């Protein structure tokens, strides 16, 4: 892997996704394909992106009953994603079944608290305590269920790493100091997130919406 930055190609347009990925391929460690891309282009769209030779982070955030999630993960096996996400809120049995169904080379990581949510949002869903406490609880659950790691914001990754020293930590909502937060509420700069314990950093719009995506990716890599 060329570095910890995975560029989030949050688009339904396969040509745009491929164009951006081709431009930044020398300055990123992989590409993240989300739910919108997968719904629009399916498994064949993922395989087409894999032809670029970069690791694929398939960010589908699977969340359903254990049997359904296990069958969904089995259906994804031919894609051989480097990283696959499920929701920690699905519970221990779902997490265990997802990991058991995944290819041996795929890291299955559990989404703890979306970076678009803050403490007030969590309270509205009935979660007691703040985001830090919830991330801690779900990190321990994912660890004990045998997953590879978790997805959490940069603000929680240091505490999560203390709970799980050997865990793999995906940090989204990463923004260079000069970039706006967009719809993310719990953000951090790439350098700070890495220093706090992130294993990989997910960067989207600061790269994909830049006038020169390659230069933007190069600039972020230089800070690391």
Look at the pTM and tell me if it is higher than 0.95: no
Q: How sure is the predictor about 118, in pLDDT bands with cuts at 50, 70 and 90? A: confident
Is 61 one of the catalytic residues?
A: yes
In whole angstroms, give the CA distance from residue 54 to residue 57. 10
Q: How sure is the predictor about 105, in pLDDT bands with cuts at 50, 70 and 90? A: very high
In whole angstroms, give the CA distance from residue 12 to residue 223. 30
Cα radius of gyration (the chain): 16
In whole angstroms, give the CA distance from residue 3 to residue 26. 10
Per residue, what are the HEC states of 48-113? HHHCCCCCEEEEEEECCCHHHHHHHHHHHHHHCCCEEEEEHHHCHHHHHHHHHHCCCCCEEEEECC
Q: Of all residues in the chain, what percent carry a pLDDT higher than 70?
A: 95
In whole angstroms, give the CA distance from residue 222 to residue 91. 39
Domain spanning 5-222, CATH class: alpha beta
Which one from 2, 32, 61, 71 is the annotated catalytic residue?
A: 61
Q: Which residue has the tokens 């969590």?
A: 122
């Amino acid at each position: 892997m060329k570095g910890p930055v995975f560029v989030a190609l949050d688009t339904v347009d396969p040509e745009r996704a491929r164009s951006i990925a081709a431009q930044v391929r020398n300055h990123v460690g992989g590409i993240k394909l989300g739910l919108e891309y997968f719904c629009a282009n399916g498994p064949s769209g993922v395989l087409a992106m894999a032809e670029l030779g970069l690791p694929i982070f398939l960010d589908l955030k699977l969340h359903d009953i254990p049997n359904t999630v296990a069958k969904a993960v089995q259906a994804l096996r031919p894609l051989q994603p480097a990283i696959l996400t499920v929701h920690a809120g699905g519970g221990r049995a779902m997490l265990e079944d997802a990991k058991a169904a995944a290819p041996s080379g795929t890291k299955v990581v559990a989404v703890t608290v979306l970076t678009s949510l803050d403490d007030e949002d969590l309270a509205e869903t009935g979660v007691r305590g703040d985001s830090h406490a919830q991330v801690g609880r779900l990190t321990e659950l994912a660890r004990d269920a045998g997953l590879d790691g978790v997805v959490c914001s940069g603000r929680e990754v240091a505490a999560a790493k203390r709970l799980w020293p050997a865990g793999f930590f995906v940090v989204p909502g990463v923004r260079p100091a000069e970039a706006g937060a967009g719809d993310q509420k719990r953000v951090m700069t790439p350098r700070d997130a890495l220093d706090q314990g992130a294993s990989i950093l997910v960067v989207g719009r600061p790269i994909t919406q830049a006038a020169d995506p390659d230069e933007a990716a190069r600039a972020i890599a230089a800070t690391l």
